[in-house]
Structure formats: C-alpha cells, structure tokens
A and B are shown apart, each in its own frame.
Chain A
Amino acid sequence: MAENGIGVSVRRKEDKRYLIGKGNYTDDINVVGQTYAIFVRSPHAHATINGIELAAAETSAGVVAVFTGDDLAADGIGPLICGVTVTSDDGEPHRAPAHPALAQGKVNYVGDHVAIVIAETLAQAKDAAEKVEVDYGILPAVTDTGSAADEGQQQIHEAAPNNICFNWPLGDKEAVEAAFASAHKISRLDLINNRMVTNPIEPRAVLGEYNTGTEEITLHLTSQNPHLHRLVLSAFNQLAPEHKLRIVAPDVGGGFGAKIFIYAEELVVGWACRKVNRPVKWTSDRTEAFLSDAHGRDHVTSAEMALDKDGKFLALRVMTTANLGAYISTFGTMVPSYLYAFLFAGQYTTPLIYSEVKAVFTNTAPVDASRGAGRPEATFMLERLVDVAAADMGLDPVEIRRRNFIPVDAFPYQTPVVQCYDSGDYHAALDKALALADYDGFGARAEEAKTRGMLRGIGLSSYVEACGIAPSAAVGQLGAGIGLWESAQVRFNPTGNVQVFTGSHSSGQGHETTFAQLVTELLGVPIEDIEVIHGDTAKTQFGMGTYGSRSMAVGGVAIAKACEKLIAKGKKIAAHALEAAEGDIEFADGNFTIAGTDKAMSIAEVAFNAYVPHSYPEDLEPGFDENAFFDPLNFSFPGGTHICEVEIDPETGVVEIIKYSAVDDFGKLINPMIVEGQVHGGITHGVGQALLEACHYDSEGQLITASFMDYAMPRADNVPSFDIDYAPTDPPDNPLGVKGCGEAGAIGAPPAVINAITNALGVKHIDMPATPEKVWRAAQGAA
C-alpha cells in the first residue's frame, strides 16, 4: 500500500484553503463592469398574469434592463426541460407542461419567476424590482399531495388533466393479489414521507459574462455537474452552442442534490448577460433558497405486506402519491419512480412486488432529488412496514428481518423490481450492529430509564440502496436523455508532477484528496505531487457530475483506467529508453523495471522522457497524458443495519437519541476518515428528516417554513456521538471494489429513528418529523 494510498485516512488536501479563508465560491467572484440581478417572484401560489407594468422599474435609478417571459420567448430561449421520461399507465409519456424560465401569462407557485431586473448595484436592482407592477388574477391553490388529483380539484396545467403527471405501475398486479388472497397475515401501514428543503449552506448563485470577441458565454455557477449544465443549456435551452458556452463551478458549498438541476435563474442570467452585454450576477438569499430551490421527498403512501405463518414475506403492495411541485424539475420524474420503486425489495427475498406511483402537480416549488432521492422514501416505507409486520406476527424486529434476508450465497441477486444486487452480507452487518448497539442489554436500560420516568426505545433499519449511478444502457432503456458514465484525464507534466482532471465535481466531498489517494496508489507518485482539477468545462474534458454517490464508484474508476493507460504507455517509453523489449518491463511502486534486473526508470523520468523525445521512433508517440471514460456495468448496492436508541420525556414529548450504531457495507474504503464524515453527515440528515424538518405550505400555497426561524435543521446537539463500523463485501461489478457512501446515512436513519420512537411509545406509527408535540400526543394515547 502506498504511503497515502487506498485505505489511509489522509487529511483533506482541500481544507487548507477553506480554513484560511481562501475558498473561492461563486459569489466571491466579481468582474469589471458587473451588474446585479434580482428576480421578481410571484407572491401568489396560483394566478394568471393579466399584465405587467415595467415603466417605473425601467426608469428607476441605475437600472440596466428589465426582462419578462416575452423577451425570452422572442429570442427563442426554450423552456426548462426534464431529463427522464416515465411512461404512464396509458402507454403515453408523462405529461410535461411547459416550464418557462420566466412566467408566460401564469404563475404556479410562490417564488415563481416573473421578471428579471438588472441594475448597477444590488440595492438599485431591489428598489426597481419593487416597482414592477404585476396584475395577478388569483386562482385557488393546490398544495396537499394526497388530494391533488381528487375529482373537482383546481386544475394547474392544461396539459396535465387532474393534476396528474404520470401513473406508473410496476410489477405483476394479479400475482400480488393472489398472494394477498392466500396470505396468513396482511400488515398495513399508511404513511407520509415529509417534504424537505435541502438547504446547502451556500445558496445558489450565477455570474454570467459574454465576450463579444470570442462570442463565448461563461457562467460561473453553483453546480454539482458543470458539463451537464452546459449540455442542457446548450442543446435544449438554446443559450449558446456547446463550444461557445463555458461553465465554471468553483468551490461549491454543499449541494446534496439541490445543485444538480438546471434552474431558471441560470438560464435567464446566461441569456441576459449577452442581451445587455454586461456581466450579470445573481446570488440567492436564504428566503429565495427556501422558495425556489428544488425540494425533496413529499410522498403519501399506503403499503401492505402479505406474510405466511412463519413471518416470511410473500408479497408487497405499495400505492404512492408523489408531489412533483408546480413544474417538473430536471430529474423530477425519475426520483419517485426508478429511484424509488426499484428499491422495494430492500434486503429481503419478497418474491412478488406491485406498486403504483401517481405523480401529481401542486402549487408548490418543484420537487427533485435530495440526498438519497427516492431511496430514503423506499427504505422508510419498507423498514417501517417490516416493524409493523413484526408486531403483527409477534416476532422481534430482528427475527423477522433475519427470516427474510437475502442470503449471502444468493448474490448477485435479481430482485423482482428490476435491480440486480451486486453483493451483500446482511446477516453479518446485522450481527455487528446488534453487538455495537448492545441490543441484548436494551431491556435493562429501558427498565432503568423507567425509574427516571423516561421511555426508552430501540429501532433498527436494514437498508439497501442503489448508487454509483449508473449504467448508460440501463438508464437509456428507462427513458433518460443522457448517459451516466464518467470521464477522467491524468496528465504528467514534464517535471513529474500530475494533474488529474475529473468530471466528478466536488461540492465538499473531498475529491481532491480521495482521487489523489487513488493516483498515488496506482502510479506511485507522492500525493503532494498530485493536483485534482474539477468544475470547469474549459479544463476538464467531460463529465456527468456528482450525485447518487457516484464519484468514486464511477469517476474513480475512470481515473484508474486513465492510470492504466499511462502505465501501458510508460512501459513502451521505458522499453525504448532502457533498450529492452516492452514485454520485459514491469511497473511497481512508481518504477518501470526490466524484469529480473536492477535497471529501472521512475515514472517521473518516463514523463520527462516522454516530453523530451529526442530519439523516438516513428511509432512511439510523445507525451504522457491519458484520458478514459468509464460506464459502470451495474449500479452499486451499499447496505447495512442502523440501530437507534432513544429516550423520550413523556411529559414534553422530547426525543433524545441516546445511541446510534451504524454498520455499513460500502465495499472498499479509500479514505476511512472521509467515509466516516459522510456517514455522520448522512445520519444527521436522516435524523433531521425524522425529528425536525418539515416543509410546510398553507392552504393558500404560502411557504410557512421559509426561514431557519421556522424550518428546523439538525444541529450538533440533536445527534449523539455515532458508533460506526463496516461489514464490507466485494462488489464484483466495480473494478475498484467500491460502492459509494454519501447517501447511506440519510437513507438508513429515518426508519431507525422512527422505529425506536414507536418502540418506546408502543404505538404502531408516528409520522415524520416526530416533533415533541406529536410524540407527546402519542405518549398520551399510549399511556
């Protein structure tokens, strides 16, 4: 193993610049001649626009320009698109109402974009924006997920009758019905999956510049996937030809999904900077972030499990209504469909699964991927239902899981819901987690808590998720408009140091460290001589970005492939320089050696030789710089068991997490310290969903939780010190043996927390977030 190679907890290379204040975020960038943009947003959830009066704004001090949807349409700047088609039960593609970047005659949620005001200063832009007079014809709003498609509901889009985007069935309905008809017991659970606001600490921002000389638009923006932004803005929104559009995403202060998507502000600023021929900057404030960032989750679900007399799962039936918000966001259709129902097998051998997902429009912000994206919703449904089934059968939650786990020798395991799991040892993870949590000692701890008037509960969640997104063939078949490979370039400079260009852009994950560890391991170059470069379409050759825990599982493999090409080429160069046959050259620990001799060249010497090719034969190409693309063969399937132990104060309903134990299978760990950080963050995210976070619209479509004063994010004192371990297996489909770890915590934690609370209270279910009042009321009922 290299000194700072795979498996070493190397301190993060990128942290120095963050810690000394040298991070460079989009809003840190200012250019000569810059103007400032403010978006005029709808204060109403649902209204026609009967007229817009711009004169007062246009003549306001410092105003450069004011534009509306008509101006965009006149320039042929297309509506925002959805990248994935889902086929509805009538055989037609999902209903896709137009999503104009600036409203065309109608607004559909509070925060919807009506106009852009560009001025010399931010204050002048704000002053002028207040002078834009919009004549709204207010319509009733639809905000409730469960009733959005009901008969007689207010219609939002003409193109989507009954506010339905799609009805998407999956599985053999009749076979599932037959299994239910002959079941020993049927367990049922109705639940909601609470809507969340993703809330990265850095709000979205974009700075657009147009160069009249090169006719190139440069957009500095907060993106998890700069090339995807360029592709969509160019190919579908007609912003500029792809070779005349540069996307620079500098340091990104967290994304968690919210910075995947192509947003109205990005397109409009990109268009406007050419229109006014001045740089234009827009930075979201926190209120705008709450109103206009894509939200996550928001499902209403009925689930049923059919069991035999031994507690074996015979069949699962799930009916979900998923809220897509007012418009379909970039990947809005994929989250409650493929990323959701394909996980319904969980860790179990359930042979028959049938589900229907009804995706609905409402007068709320668009809903799209947020850390976990579909998989937390699937896991919460399944792991809660399994606990209900355990209670119905009189089995311990551990026992019912054991009876239904996919056995270790069954992998690769084809589930009845499309996915074929790569590897897993679910009993091993469960065993480790039970030991870590001292599950057997829980009874004594609960008794002790009772003497203090407190209620203790313990709950587990055995999750599996699909990440390392994704094989292009698979997603193409499912209706995605893109491939989900990743690309890398590994370049030696003549002096022997290395620049690694990756399409896996970082929004805080530590790529500059972990990818460098990979390269030092494979090429033997000291880690301090390796620089990882990302986030600029003019620098990196290509890339699909960072989401779905794909960076190491897909992007890392692309880097490894480029390294392999360098080694292959290095052998040719060393053979020439050392006057040996190529087949006799071996590479190890950074040196090319003639087998069986002490004649060797370091890889740095080979690099120098490659750039000073004074005596190269015709068939030996100079240079030491290789690129590679990698398209994964399969998703990767991390899994594990999380165990949460809570103590509830029945007098107030306050839940304290006393202990949280997580045992995960992420395959091989590149940097255990960074993985641990991802697990901590993921679990905290999940605890936030379980206990605190509730995005709340009122019946008129006003966002009640539009600030941190009302939207409760998890804080350090909401979580305990986590107990973490691993039960790794070796995924055969991944060349590096890695699985992905960024979302697992957010997927595994919510049901573990809620299962612990229902266990403490002795109730069947409690909806998330389990706020003190909800828990107090449940405790009253239970007492």
Chain B
Amino acid sequence: MYDFSYHNPKNVADAVSAMNEAEDGKFVAGGQTMIPTMKHRLASPSDIIDLRGIAELSGITVDGRGISIGAMTTHAEVAASSDVQAMIPALAALAANIGDPAVRNCGTIGGSVANNDPAADYPAAVIALGATVKTSKREISADDFFTGMFETALEEDELITAISFPKADAAAYMKFENPASRYAIVGVFVAKTGNDVRVGITGATPCAHRGMRLEEVLNSNFSADALESVEIPVAKMNADIHASAEYRAHLVKVMTRRAVAACS
C-alpha cells in the first residue's frame, strides 16, 4: 500500500469538500474492494475519505411505498433487517449471500453500487426493483445509473446517500456462483409489481443491465415456461476461464426461469 492522506468527515458536506480539495481522492465505504486493491498497490489515491463516521448515511427507513437504505448500511444489516425481510425478502436474501461474514459486516450497499463490479449482486436488484439512487447532488434512476464496467453516472465528488427500493409484489434473485470467488457468474433478479415485470442481470456482461427481451415475454406471460423461446445473445456475454459466453447465455435463461418460478 502506498502512503495517502486519511480523512474522517462527520457529514456529507465535509466529505465532499475533502474530495474537492484532494489531488486524487477516493471515497471509501466498507473498503471491501478499495482496501485489497490498495494493498496490491493497484491503486494509489492521494487521499482516502472514509465515510464510516457519517451517521446520516446509515440506516433503513420504511414508508408505505417502499424502503430506503442508507448508503453505509452493511450487507449484514440489510440481511438482518426485519423491515427488508418483510417488504422485499428477496433483497434481504441477496444481501445474506454476498461474500462471507467478514465481507457482509464491512461491505456496504452504497459501496457496492458505486463500485459497480460486473459480478456484484446489488446492481441486479437495483435495476430489477426500479430503485432510485439518491446522491449528494440528485436522484438517479436505476436505468440511468450503471453506465459501464466499474462505471456509473456518479461524478467524482458525488456520493450515494441512500437507495430507495419500491416494494414489489413478488421478487426473487437467483445467483449462479463462481466456484472460486462466489461472485455471480450470472445473477438474475426478477421483480413483479402489478403487471410490470423487470429483470436485472449481473455477471453475464460487462455491466449489469435489464433483460429487455425477457421482460417482454414475461410481461405477457409470467411463467418459467414462457422463456423457452427467448434468445439470449451469446456475443454480448462475458467469457473467462470459469464460464464461456455460450454457457453464460444459457445460465441467464436458467436463472431467470428459476427466479420466475420462485416468484410464483
């Protein structure tokens, strides 16, 4: 790890100003990606702005329409939240299966979503549930947030403050795990609200995305069998030593089918 200046702001405004003053600053939430990257000397930020001291970024609140999760809420807190379990059980289950206990007790929803790892779990849920990403500057819809591999709509000095998830009538997440990392080789989150079905897919391509063709079919017939005819474009899939593009495309369909089955 290279040397860096450490900042421990107590509120969002101070965090943003520390970032603006830094030469090459980085916000750190749970640090589950940033710290290992720095330890490997693959990142050398001049300044680390630690968000853990900012109380306003943590916590889970519920209203009639859905649930709002503070950016610094850990995966373990989301998994254990009776509010999340009651309102969107699939989201609690997703959080409960991220990484291992150490990761879940440090890693945060805001950190995961801001990092936008192509194999992370949360982006699939944010997309499928049609969540809104609230930041220090604005509100960004899920469809506009994830822009590319490890890239988002966030600006350099912009912080996620909370993510609000509208309640779905039914939702399920099916994850096919990488046997080594246990990240998603393919993860599919299906959410149904009224007659509107949304499908969020992670792991399969360089950036989490909506499964529009799948949604189209499911909107007219919400059943696992209906998916048989859908073509998943192999050419767009990731390929690595763990799974070829063809296998990933196949898994997208299988995981979607299983998620739909779990919804009904």
Contact = CB atoms under 8 A, between A and B. Distances in A.
Interface of A: 123, 126, 130, 287, 651-652, 691-692, 694, 696, 704-705, 708-713, 771-773, 776-777
B20 interface: no
Given A713-B180, A773-B244, A776-B250, 19 more contacts: A123-B1, A126-B41, A130-B41, A651-B254, A652-B251, A652-B254, A692-B179, A696-B241, A705-B180, A708-B181, A710-B180, A711-B180, A712-B178, A712-B179, A712-B180, A771-B179, A772-B176, A772-B179, A772-B247
B244 A709 contact: no
The 4 closest A-B pairs by CB, nearest first: A712-B180, A712-B179, A709-B181, A773-B247
B209 to A, nearest CB: 21
A20 to B, nearest CB: 21
B25 to A, nearest CB: 21
Contacts of A777: 247
Contacts of B254: 651-652
B180 A776 contact: no
A704 B250 contact: no
Contacts of B180: 692, 705, 708-713
A373 B178 CA distance: 28
Interface residues of B, number: 18
Contacts of A776: 247, 250
Given A123-B1, A651-B254, A773 B243 contact: yes
Contact of A710 (B40, B241, B247, B251): B241
A651 B183 CA distance: 20
Contacts, number: 44
Interface in B216-264: 241-244, 247, 250-251, 254
Given A710-B181, A773-B247, A776-B247, A652 B176 contact: yes
B225 to A, nearest CB: 14
A352 B183 CA distance: 50
Nearest to A653: B247
B194 to A, nearest CB: 30
Which of A287, A713, A773 gathers the greatest number of chain B CB atoms within 10 Å? A773
B223 to A, nearest CB: 17
Nearest to B258: A651
A106 to B, nearest CB: 26
16 contacts: A130-B41, A651-B254, A692-B180, A694-B241, A696-B241, A705-B241, A709-B181, A712-B178, A712-B179, A713-B180, A772-B176, A772-B247, A773-B242, A773-B243, A773-B247, A776-B250
A499 B247 CA distance: 60
A329 to B, nearest CB: 25
A705 B247 CA distance: 20
Point out which of B40, B180, B242, B247 has the most chain A C-beta atoms below 10 A from its C-beta. B180
Contacts of A771: 179, 242
B230 to A, nearest CB: 15
Contacts of A696: 241
A696 B180 CA distance: 13
A168 B180 CA distance: 37
B188 to A, nearest CB: 13
Contacts of B1: 123
A72 to B, nearest CB: 27
Contacts of A713: 180
Contacts of B41: 126, 130
Given A709-B180, A771-B179, A287 B40 contact: yes
Contacts of B3: 123
A691 B179 CA distance: 10
A710 B119 CA distance: 13
B241 A704 contact: yes
B91 to A, nearest CB: 23
Contacts of A692: 179-180
A611 B242 CA distance: 66
A300 B6 CA distance: 53
Interface string B198-211: 00000000000000
| Highest count of chain A CB atoms <10 Å: which of B1, B40, B243, B247 | B247
A243 to B, nearest CB: 42
A776 B1 CA distance: 42
B102 to A, nearest CB: 13
Interface string B168-206: 000000001011110100000000000000000000000
